[in-house]
Amino acid sequence: MAASGALPVVDLTPFLTWDEGGIARGTDTVREACRTHGFFRVVNHGVPAELLARALEQSAAFFALPDEEKARVRPAAASKAPLPAGYGRQPAHSTDKNEYLVVFDPKLGFNVYPTEPAGFRETLDECHGKLTELGLLIQEILNECMGLPPGFLSNYNNNRGFDHMTSKRYFPATEEENIGFSEHEDGNCITFIFQDGVGGLEVLKDGHWVPAEPVDGSIIVNIGDVIQVLSNGKLKSATHRVVRKSVHRHSFAFFFNLHGDKLVEPLPEFTAKIGEAPRYRRFQYREYQQLRVRNKTHPPARPEDIIRITHYAI
């Protein structure tokens, strides 16, 4: 299995050109990566490298604006978005961790757009559209990897209203602390990450932190808790974190999500049909998202309950 920065690499050219032999090999690589790493890197993915570079450049220009300018893009109080769209800090009111800008599909009308730099709004919308297309493709590959009936995942996850994209700036490390985002697992279906040359993203594999090094034009993919539960633990929602360096780090994360009303539980293909018991009980996705938010302000007794989807484990 080819590797760059220690992550499996998948060339998506065969999937875009209908090369059946290449599709079979690529699907095998994705299947194995989801079992072992939960992460892989895609190249030749159809998202223009120029667009990725422009998004990072304009994002850096936005975050370099004075705080009072960025404050104009704070979430609208009346927004009905699944989570606040616009500018914020993490943790709230902090100046030494990271700051972010959340963007939804522009057709939904949730976004609060920056007016500077020029063209940033158009870049954000173009990125969102291209990464949505990539999400649909990766979802089809996962459908095949999981041995599900054709089109199952696309029918199950057919509402794009909860997808969102986050642009982030991580502040430089301090002498006391260098964690930009503590270890966690993503609660959604699929996440895409592209980043500048600073690096800092790390994936936990076999007890060791593996750097997901920046590679120009590539996009890092990881599967989240929804896919792990549907596969009854056969595919891995990997633990990962961001370690801050001595300079600012800029990145984008796109969350290919599930609608909040959907029910999530292990599929028969991974339980009854192969004689295995479910490892998770059924839950509504919105309920799980609310639990994750609550865990941040009211941490559970066991730290692992914050990081992993243990609340619904059987």
2-30, pLDDT tens digit by residue?
334 479 999 999 999 999 999 999 999 99
25, 244, 249, 302: the catalytic one is 249
Q: Is 263 exposed, middle or buried (0-12, 13-18, 19+ CB in 10 A)?
A: exposed
3-state secondary structure of 56: helix
The pLDDT of residue 79: 79
Percent of the residues in the chain that have a pLDDT greater than 70, as a whole number: 96
How close are the terminal C-alpha atoms of the chain, in Å?
Answer: 34
Note if 249 is an active site residue. yes
Q: Per-residue pLDDT averaged across 246-255, rounded?
A: 96
The pLDDT of residue 5: 46
Q: List the single range of 16-25, 49-58, 72-81, 179-188 with lowest mean pLDDT.
A: 72-81
Domains recognised in the chain with CATH numbers: 3-307 (2.60.120.330)
pLDDT of residue 82 exceeding 90, the answer is no
Q: Phi/psi at 17 (nearest 5 deg)?
A: -115, 5
Q: List the single range of 71-75, 109-113, 301-305 with lowest mean pLDDT.
A: 301-305
CA distance 179 to 158: 36
The pLDDT of residue 303: 79
Beta strands at 201-205 and 240-243: parallel, antiparallel or unpaired: antiparallel
Percent of the residues in the chain that have a pLDDT greater than 90, as a whole number: 82
The pLDDT of residue 92: 57
pLDDT tens profile 189-244 = 999 999 999 999 999 999 999 999 999 999 999 999 999 999 999 999 999 999 99
Q: Per-residue pLDDT averaged across 106-120, rounded?
A: 95
Question: Element (H or E) spanning 295, and its range?
Answer: helix 285-297
pLDDT tens profile 292-309 = 888 878 888 887 888 889
| More confident of the two residues 175 and 95 | 175
